[in-house]
A and B are shown apart, each in its own frame.
Chain A
Amino acid sequence: MHEMALMESLVSVLREEAEKNDIKEIKKVKMTVGTLTHALPSALQFAFTVLRESTPFAPLATLEIETVSAQAKCLACAQTFDVSDEYLFTCPHCQAFTIKIIAGRELKIDYFEGE
């Protein structure tokens, strides 16, 4: 739902970074998105195609999205586990409810390529 806003922050970060690194045209962007953010890759891609029409993006700049699934660490038994819909935030090993999310909230730009 907020993919356009997310992409707008991506563009403003990249604009600044491109200038810093003296890059005139960005051809590729790689980002990581955790599933818990509910940011849909297809909606991010769509927003990117709208926003890449402005400088400093190449007209056909591409966006690569790496999806990270949700993982948590149990504070009771210290084991890590995948957060699935079924378990939600319950430890599947010891059934404890005190858990810490360790992956799945990522929303970051890893790198960009350009000249």
Chain B
Amino acid sequence: MQVHINQKLLGANELVAKENRKRMAEKGVYLLNLMSSPGAGKTTVLEKTLPLLKERIKVAVIEGDIATVRDAERIAALSVPVVQINTHGACHLDATMIQAVLDKFDLDNLDLLIVENVGNLVCPAEFDLGEAAKVVLLSTTEGNDKIPKYPLMFHEADGLLINKIDLLPFTDFSLEEVAKDLQKINAHLPTFPLSARTGEGMEAWIHWLLQKMQEGRERP
């Protein structure tokens, strides 16, 4: 017997993502999915971002890693509420993992929940978490060919951070090439070159993020 089901493989994930999105909207929490390759500097960018955000809004973090709680410890050191998810080998977070930890936060007293996804440019693009926005982080040491190599991730992004621009003179990374590639993949992608190490460019990115959150509140 042949049974036609025509069912999406990730249909279950999409349903849970929808629930997460609805819950966040009800609670007025902006859910941000931060993605990058391993070592691009997601945690370091957060370490610099969070103290600046904390002055203005209530923020918390979900740390996704294959193993260890090291990143969560770095965030907790900033007195920001943080929950670590260990995926035990899985290369991405999914909506169910997020749903399972949402109760650990005081959602009524929260404006922004940042999810630091597992370092990977391929798989996280497939798994909707229920986020309001996807931000991709690229670092100058990775080279700018990451954009044409992983077009889906950059096509779906709502914002792009280019970290480690203090190292630009020592790499072959070209901001012009990035702009050219983005023209073909996501022409109007807001892009923020910055250095989490020196603090350069941080204000522009934070300003944009706060504005996005404001827009999200006005047009949920």
Instruction: Give A residues with C-beta under 8 Å from B.
Output: 1-2, 5-6, 9-10, 12-13, 17, 21, 23, 31, 36-38, 85, 87-90, 97-98, 101, 105, 107-115
Instruction: Enumerate 9 A-B pairs (CB-CB under 8 Å) in ascending A order.
Output: A5-B90, A6-B10, A10-B9, A17-B3, A21-B3, A107-B8, A111-B6, A114-B1, A114-B3
Tell yes or no: B187 within 8 A of A by CB: yes
Contacts from B to A (Cβ < 8 Å): 1-13, 90-92, 94, 120, 122-123, 126, 148, 151-152, 155, 181, 183-187
Interface residue SS majority, chain B: mixed
Nearest 8 Cβ contacts at the A-B interface:
A2-B123, A97-B187, A88-B184, A111-B4, A107-B9, A90-B184, A113-B2, A108-B8
Q: By the criterion CB–CB under 8 Å, are B5 and A109 in contact? A: yes
Complex Cα spacing A38 to B92, Å: 14
B7 and A88: CB pair below 8 A? no
By a CB distance below 8 angstroms, the chain A residues around B8 are 107-108
Asked if A23 and B122 sit within 8 Å, CB to CB, the answer is: no
Asked if A1 contacts B4 (CB within 8 A), the reply is: no
If A1-B120, A2-B126, A85-B148 touch, whether A112 touches B184 (CB-CB below 8 Å) is no
Say yes or no: A6-B6 contact (C-beta < 8 A), given A21-B1, A89-B184, A115-B1: no
Known: A2-B126, A23-B1. A9 touches B10 (CB 8 A): yes
**A-B pairs with CB below 8 Å: how many?**
92
Name the CB-closest residue of A to B181.
A88
Please state if B9 and A2 are interface contacts (CB–CB under 8 Å): no
Interchain CB contact under 8 A, B155 and A13: no
- Known: A101-B155, A112-B2. Is A5-B183 also a contact (CB below 8 A)? no
Contacts A2-B92, A5-B92, A13-B11 given; indicate if A37 touches B4 (C-beta within 8 A).
Answer: no
Q: How far is the CA of A98 from the CA of B5 in the complex (A)?
A: 33
Report how far A57 CA is from B141 CA in the complex, Å: 46
Cross-chain contact B90 with A88 (CB below 8 angstroms): no
Please report the C-alpha to C-alpha distance between residue A115 and residue B151 in the assembled complex, in whole angstroms: 42
Residues of A within 8 A of B120 (CB): 1
Known A2-B91, A97-B183: A112·B5 in contact at CB below 8 Å? yes
Chain A CB count within 10 A is highest, among B3, B11, B12, for B3
A115 nearest in chain B by CB position: B1
State in angstroms the CA–CA spacing of A88 and B94 once bound together. 27
Given contacts A13-B5, A17-B5, 8 further A-B pairs with CB under 8 A are A13-B9, A13-B12, A23-B3, A38-B123, A97-B187, A98-B187, A111-B6, A115-B1
Known A21-B3, A113-B1; judge A9-B151 contact (CB<8 A): no
